[in-house]
Amino acid sequence: MQQGTNTFVKIDEYKDILDIIQLIKEKVKETKALLGKINDLKNQEDSELELWKNGLDDVERKLNFIDQTLFEPKF
């Protein structure tokens, strides 16, 4: 479209276009909110997994200590 030229649109179509644009804006806003919630859940999940990993590492250290203590030759 060249600059300075007029474009004519029927009023009904213009209103429909405005409604569609508003609907798209609302959907984008909703989607951003959902992505924020998903990100929060992911962060919580990552924290829980880190706690589980730390717990397992602690159990593994204790098992290794018990293993060394029980089976280490004593002089």
In the chain, which stretches have pLDDT less than 50?
A: none
pLDDT, the chain, mean? 91
Residues 6 or more apart in contact with residue 7 via CB below 8 angstroms: 1
pTM over 0.85, yes/no: no
Q: Considering Cα of 22, then 24, then 26, then 29, what sign does the dihedral take?
A: negative
pLDDT number for residue 71:
82
**Residue 6 structure tokens:** 């007029």
